[in-house]
Amino acid sequence: MEAIDRHPTRIQAANREIILRAALEVFAIHGFRGSTVDQIAAKADMSKPNLLYYFRRKQDIYRAVLEHTLGDWLAPLAAIDPAGDPIEELRRYITLKLEMSAESPAASRLFANEILAGAPVIGDFLKTRLRELVHDKAGVIRRWVSEGRLAPVDPVHLIFTIWAVTQHYADFDLQVRAVLGGQVDMPGFHQQTAQAVLTIVLNGVRPRD
């Protein structure tokens, strides 16, 4: 468990954020087993005793980083508005997921590594909060389909597809670069990527005449 108060001061909250950002970079490079508290403290430009005031163990830092990442990623899914236009709600969600993948590829890769390892730290989270949210939003998509506002599509597999395609550009960055070369670093690449992904996914779910 973390060692900080339930109601941290502004400085404590800022230091905790610094630690989590530093830990994300360290874990993404070295993995959980290859990372040390000393490496994280050095990356955070903080003494080890000071870091241990906020987190007692490496495991606590790792869990906090993953939960922070999941919280950020799930917020756009949770924000899908049942009363909104289905195509526009999905467009917004996909766009946000692509932006997050581009801005924080280390977070996506860390999460992928946790899943590949069998989700030893966040397995309970996946089976509870994640599952509940997915089923809730799948219900929204299912209703849109029944109303004829989307083409017939399995809502859970649609969500899986969006996750897969949006996180691909972070998790398989080396593969993308091997295929596209210098295009990846050219201005407008991320906008072109978003347009391509949106066209493919949204054309697949638009209502048929």
Higher pLDDT, 158 or 3: 158
* CB half-sphere exposure, 201, CA atoms < 13 A: 28
Q: Contact at 8 Å (CB) between 46 and 18?
A: yes
Cβ-based neighbours of 151, under 8 Å, separated by 6 or more: 145, 204, 205, 206, 207, 208
| Bridge partners of residue 111, in order along the sequence | none
Name residue, tokens 């309970």.
124
pLDDT above 80 (res 189):
yes
Where are the CATH 1.10.10.60 domain residues in the chain? 1-56
Token couple for 166: 């949006």
Cα separation, 11 vs 172, whole angstroms: 36
DSSP letter at 55 equals B
Cβ-based neighbours of 98, under 8 Å, separated by 6 or more: 166, 169, 190, 193, 194, 197
Instruction: Provide the pLDDT for residue 3.
Output: 46
pLDDT above 50 (res 208):
yes
DSSP letter at 127 equals I
Instruction: Provide the pLDDT for residue 6.
Output: 57
The full length of the chain comes to: 209
* Residue 1 banded pLDDT, cuts 50, 70, 90: very low
**Listed range (5-9, 92-96, 100-104) with the worst mean pLDDT:** 5-9
* CATH code, residues 1-56: 1.10.10.60
pLDDT above 70 (res 166):
yes
* Residue 11 banded pLDDT, cuts 50, 70, 90: confident
Where are the CATH 1.10.357.10 domain residues in the chain? 67-205
Cα 10 to Cα 5, 53, 60: the distances in Å are 12, 15, 21
- In CATH terms, the superfamily for domain 67-205 is Tetracycline Repressor, domain 2 (1.10.357.10)
